Amino acid sequence: MVKDIKAIIFDLDGTLLDTGEGVVKSLEYTVEKMGFEPLTRARLESFVGPPIKKRLLELYDMSAETADRATQVFRTRYGEGDIFLAKKYEGMDSCLAALKARYKLAVATYKREDQAIKLLEKQGLAKYFDIMHGSDTAATMTKADIIRLVISELGCPLNNILMIGDSDNDALGAENAGISFLGVTYGYGFKCADDVNKFKNAGIADSCKAILEELL
């Protein structure tokens, strides 16, 4: 059981919501629009969570300027409607309601902040969170930058804050920001406990119910 926690920061993609369908759809549009080589389904899904620009540069031989243009194409398309092709993970509402009764809750996501807040409001999850921050418009912030921004508003000592996420970006972001991390294996990043255990962590959960068991 995770102890001495007063505030919890959640990742969004693959942690709060299954956003894969919308991300993949917008990415397919972006790849075609930009004239890039088509990607396999597995590679398309690898964009769920990480910064779009970073993943584009990893998979394609392109300049940073081209990656910036492609990122803007993606974000525009995604914000026009694909963003709402998202589903809550089973038990998420009851999980957040139970946690909110005991902890301050926040969101730190790579999603553009205005789009992230719009999505959380549409899904009925925004009401559970005291603070919600995402990436800047230019997509220059790291996950640790976004987490630190949330931390600055939480008003809690670092040793009383826990990050919950589904990927190495979340684990490393939490470590770089100086807070504890709990990894979930039901999203798009970590698939099993061994994946989480490659990183410093305070616990592992394979469902919303398991998150509650770790924290309550």
pTM: 0.93
pLDDT of residue 85: 96
Asked whether residue 137 falls in the same domain as residue 49, the answer is: no
CATH number at residue 64: 1.10.150.240
Whether residues 39 and 75 share a domain: the answer is yes
Does residue 2 sit within a domain?
Answer: no
Q: Report strand pairing: 7-10 vs 161-165.
A: parallel
User: Could you give the residue numbers annotated as active site?
Assistant: 11
Contact 132, 126 (CB under 8 A): yes
pLDDT of residue 132: 98
Query: In this predicted model, what pLDDT tens digit does every residue of 63-96 receive, in sequence order?
Result: 999 999 999 999 999 999 999 999 999 999 999 9
14 and 48 belong to one structural domain: no
Q: How many residues does the chain have?
A: 216
- Domain final residue, candidates 84, 103, 133: 84
Co-location of 90 and 181 in the same domain: yes
Query: Would the pLDDT of 137 be above 90?
Result: no
Q: Do 122 and 132 have their domain in common? A: yes
Going 94 to 110 to 40 to 197, the CA torsion angle's sign is: negative
CA dihedral 15, 134, 67, 70 (to 10 degrees): 80
Q: Do 112 and 203 sit in the same domain of this protein?
A: yes
Mean pLDDT in residue range 198-215:
97
**How many independent structural domains does the chain possess?**
2
Tell me the C-alpha distance between 124 and 133, whole Å: 17
Q: By residue range, what is the domain housing residue 41?
A: 20-84
Give the model confidence (pLDDT) of 87-99 as tens digits: 999 999 999 999 9
Interval 7-52: pLDDT, tens:
999 999 999 999 999 999 999 999 999 999 999 999 999 999 888 9
Q: What is the mean pLDDT of residues 160-173?
A: 97
Q: Is the pLDDT of residue 195 over 80?
A: yes
Separation CA 170–CA 15 (nearest Å): 10
